[in-house]
Amino acid sequence: MTSYDFSGQSGARVNQVSELDLAPSLGSGDVPVLATPRVVAWLEAAAVAALAGLPDGKTSVGIHIAVDHTAPTLVGAEVQAEAQVTAVEGSRIEFDVRASEGDQIVASGTHTRVIVDRERFLTRAGLGAD
């Protein structure tokens, strides 16, 4: 099994909340605040950023995420999503993740990604080259 050294690495993404990021737009509720599915996507993007520099032919896929979305965020707000590597076991990478608006944490949790061979993954998904 190949082992990777991403210990201590982190990634971040800054996003401005738009109408398309709200719960009604994503079908996850009827109040006009930042939707939990969008927060989760932003947290995953931060984790992907933390794994920048993977060898050619490798990519990572998310296999688990557990997030508490604890505060509402309105259109126009700037949200910073961050992911910090907390453990590496072979190709499995664990993260602590959080999203914040200024000093207020609006979501936090854990995320797991696995490093895979990109072509092999696509082939198994039925998307490989013929």
Which residues are catalytic, by number? 36, 44, 69
Distance from the Cα of residue 35 to its chain's centroid = 14
Nearest to 13, CA basis, from 61, 65, 81: 81
DSSP SS3 for 25 = helix
CA geometry: angle 122, 35, 66, nearest 5 deg: 60
